[in-house]
Amino acid sequence: MGERTGQTVGDGATLYQFDEWGDRIEAAAEEDQSDGGPAGPPCEISMLNGSWLLRLTPQGPRRGLAKSEVRGPMRIEVAAAALRVSGDVYVRQMPLQPHEPDTPPLPPAPWYPQLPMSQYSWYFRSTGVTFNAGTVSFGIDRHLWDRTTQEFVNTDTGQIELTCRGQDQDADHPMVMRGQARIGGQTYTAVATKTSESYRGCRVEVDVMTGRVWPQTATLCSGVETSFRQVYGTSGWDMQATVDELKVPEDASLTNAELQTLLATHRGPGTADEWRLWLLVGSAQGSLFGIMFDDDSVPREGSVGFADATLGNDPIIEASARGKPLDEVPAAYLRTLVHEAGHALNLFHPKHDVHNPPIGTEIMNQTGDVMGFATEANPYPCNAVFAFAEHDRLSLIHAPDPQVRPGWKGFGWGHGSLSSGLPLPVDADGLVATNDAAGLQLDLRMPTDTFVGEYVTAEVVLTNVSDEPREVTTRLNLAEGDLRLLHAAPGAVINQVRDIVVACGPRPTTMLPPGGSLTGRMQIYFTNEGITFDQPGPHTLRAELDVDGLNSVRSQRVTMHVRTAATQAERDIAGTTLDRSVGMALALGDFGQNEETRESLAQLADGHPGHDTAAAGALVLANALARPHLDVRAGVAREAEPDAARAYLEQASQGRSPEQVLELAVTVASPTEKDAPVVQAALDLVQGTAPEVNRATEIAEDFVAPSPR
């Protein structure tokens, strides 16, 4: 979108309409014909411009035992002939209380709603806006956030209407709009409280290396004086830059590793939810002007401008700046520092932005490119525009919080499509209506190496790391819905991994004492994805457990390196296990009526008994043959073969400790079959055979009902 000109927004008695891009539809403008709504004079449209706190409360009876707190920042951009709305909604669950606690007062304006990343639920932007007699009404495209994958996964639509009346406003109180929202088939009472005339804010801590100069202000060639905060102010950002330290120790050349260390050791404290950025006035790295170096696990929190880098002697450089170090040319240095901070807000160089914005002389163009447009008559930095291009300005104002906020998504995220299709309606709670559980830790333990076709198991351990007992689910398996596994195959999208059987029922819980743990063990070889690890390469997995319906806990990410079968034994095993019916038998702990699968399992068990995959095959046979099986539909029965079952169990136990035998047995048994014969049989077999039997007993007990240890 280019520069807009047009009618300046008028008073609240005029109907204005704006299309999905937020641009004014001229032909639609007409005088207000409404009944005027609530009493009081309507606000002028210009009063809407700025940052708001949007709060949504469901209308009608409450569902469930918890109350959702649904709120977040909303940005209304009122420009000449344009009106756009976007917002980010954060949700947390609160237990219902007999008496509603008093709502804490809001801070005095200006302030910016900056909420915990762990509560992020959805992003919205307007698809068309009308403003009529003080009422702003707009449809929204809503992008739903998956807290586990940390990605937008779905979109849907909704409608929000808010009315602004003069009687709601007075000098001592923030401006308030009231109305309703229709989201996911539910109606909500909507209240918006204005927090600032700017759209977003961020605290910038500036540390200065000894002997270098922070450009507090810069006088441009036009004679206009500007500053870091003023440049960001042109895009509606309130960037409060404060110099914190003037004597960062001298280091003539800074590597990225050193910069990362400086960020860790010199940045001052901040609150958890505050948006903040660390900016270093540093020395040099080669002849770079600046770099956004922070690409670690909490990315985009630090940038540097190199004060010692020199401008060239080219005639296209303004005469007084030629050959000077950057910090002796305040306009040039300020431009670089604003540019690097822009990267920390996830802005790209135009030439690599997937949206293909034009290359020019605005802030996010590299200095070299701006110099490329300079002439002797209009040299650098005189030719530089000290403002963001329209594409970057819109991104700063309206892009979702995860894209913009320092410390959230990595550099480059969000420069593609946000949407992955239209889902069924989801209400205002978003996709994951749980909080991040404090005081609980989830560990995912699994091998880091495997080959395609090898039987793979995982262990999930929930630990109470708080000082208080915690009531938690005991359903630490993939079949009963509380636990899920997120799996990203090489180069592929993230999939949710579940068992191939899904069970429903009440959530059994246990009281987990401080320091206590619960353990669940499961096979992940064959899941709802089929063969889970059917592609060579690095696979990433992460577990998420719904602890109690209100809180969730996530594990660390684990990378599993999958290779193709290399040895003859591995190829033999893979040749059997990659058969889908064999995979299903390994997941179900039974081959049903499929005699071919039984034969394959027997070959697997007999062929390489020292290998755990073969032992798993033997244990499936031991489990299946220990009991009869009836195919109701076909009317075919399979008789139990207890002697054969015992023989396969003994075969699987050869060369394995009691603990190893039970670890395998509980994974081949389906989690929904707490009485699977193989678990008790394996325990009976190992009883009294070794000192490790106690551990084996615990594993068997955990299969039936995990208990704290």
Partner 1 sequence: MTIPDPVTTPELRLSLEAPARLALDEPLIALARLAAAGPVTTSSRLNLIESDLSVVVTGPGAHPVRAIWPYPVDSGLRRVTLAAGEVLEGGVLLLAGSGRKPLFPTAGPYELVAEFSPTPATTVTAQPVTVIREDPAEAEDQARALADPGVIGSLMSVSVSQPAADALAGPVSTTPTGRLLAALAAGDPAGIREAAAALAKVAGPVAPATTAAAVLPPGLFPGDERLAAVAAVLAAQDDDGRAAALLAERPWRPPAR
Q: What is the DSSP string of 508-566?
A: -EEEE-TT-EEEEEEE-SEETTEETT-SSEEEEEEEEEE-SSSEEEEB--EEEEEE---
Residue 396 three-state SS: helix
Does 287 participate in binding partner 1 (rule CB under 8 A)?
yes
List 410, 549, 592, 607, residue binding partner 1 (CB under 8 A): 410
Least distance in angstroms from the C-beta of 569 to partner 1: 17
Q: Which is nearer to partner 1, 68 or 226 (CB)?
A: 226
Q: What is the DSSP string of 236-287?
A: TEEEEEEEEEEEEPP-SS--HHHHHHHHHHHPPP--TT--EEEEEEE--STT
46 dihedral zone (left: phi>0; alpha: psi -120 to 50; beta): alpha
Q: Which is nearer to partner 1, 64 or 537 (CB)?
A: 537
Does 421 participate in binding partner 1 (rule CB under 8 A)?
no
List 67, 484, 563, 629, residue binding partner 1 (CB under 8 A): 563
Task: Enumerate residues 434-493 that contact partner 1 by CB under 8 A.
Answer: 449, 490-491
Closest CA to 431 of 33, 120, 45, 81: 120
Q: Rounded to whole angstroms, how far apart are CA atoms 175 and 42?
A: 12
Closest CA to 279 of 291, 295, 297: 291
Q: Rounded to whole angstroms, how far apart are CA atoms 96 and 225?
A: 55
List 289, 525, 526, 533, residue binding partner 1 (CB under 8 A): 289
Does 293 participate in binding partner 1 (rule CB under 8 A)?
yes
Does 171 participate in binding partner 1 (rule CB under 8 A)?
no
Least distance in angstroms from the C-beta of 156 to partner 1: 25
Least distance in angstroms from the C-beta of 299 to partner 1: 8
How many residues are given for the chain? 709
Residue 151 three-state SS: strand
Does 309 participate in binding partner 1 (rule CB under 8 A)?
yes
Does 368 participate in binding partner 1 (rule CB under 8 A)?
yes
Does 369 participate in binding partner 1 (rule CB under 8 A)?
yes
Does 411 participate in binding partner 1 (rule CB under 8 A)?
yes
Q: Which stretch of DSSP H or E encloses residue 189? A: strand 186-196
Q: Which stretch binds partner 1 (CB under 8 A): 69-77, 288-296, 385-393, 630-638?
A: 288-296
Q: Which is nearer to partner 1, 353 or 572 (CB)?
A: 353
Q: Which is nearer to partner 1, 182 or 324 (CB)?
A: 324
Q: Rounded to whole angstroms, how far apart are CA atoms 659 and 666?
A: 11
Least distance in angstroms from the C-beta of 274 to partner 1: 24
The pair phi, psi for residue 31, each rounded to 5°, is -70, 150
Least distance in angstroms from the C-beta of 416 to partner 1: 8
Q: What is the DSSP string of 314-354?
A: -TTB-GGGTT-BGGGSHHHHHHHHHHHHHHHTTPPPGGG-T
Q: Which amino acid is at 7?
A: Q
Q: Which is nearer to partner 1, 245 or 258 (CB)?
A: 258
| x/- track of binding to partner 1 for residues 517-556 (CB under 8 A) | ------------------xxxx------------------
# residues near partner 1 by CB under 8 A: 54
Least distance in angstroms from the C-beta of 206 to partner 1: 17
| x/- track of binding to partner 1 for residues 340-359 (CB under 8 A) | x--x----xx-xx-x----x
Task: Enumerate residues 654-693 that contact partner 1 by CB under 8 A.
Answer: none
Cα torsion 572, 576, 579, 584: sign: negative
Q: Which is nearer to partner 1, 217 or 564 (CB)?
A: 564
- Helix-then-strand count for the chain, H and E: 14, 33
Based on the number of CB atoms within 10 Å of its own CB, is 52 exposed (0-12), middle (13-18) or buried (19 or more)?
A: buried
Q: Rounded to whole angstroms, how far apart are CA atoms 535 and 184?
A: 38
Least distance in angstroms from the C-beta of 411 to partner 1: 6
Q: Which residues bind partner 1 (CB under 8 A)?
A: 255-258, 260, 286-293, 295-296, 305, 309, 311-312, 314, 316, 336, 339-340, 343, 348-349, 351-352, 354, 359, 365-369, 371-373, 410-413, 416, 449, 490-491, 535-538, 561, 563-564
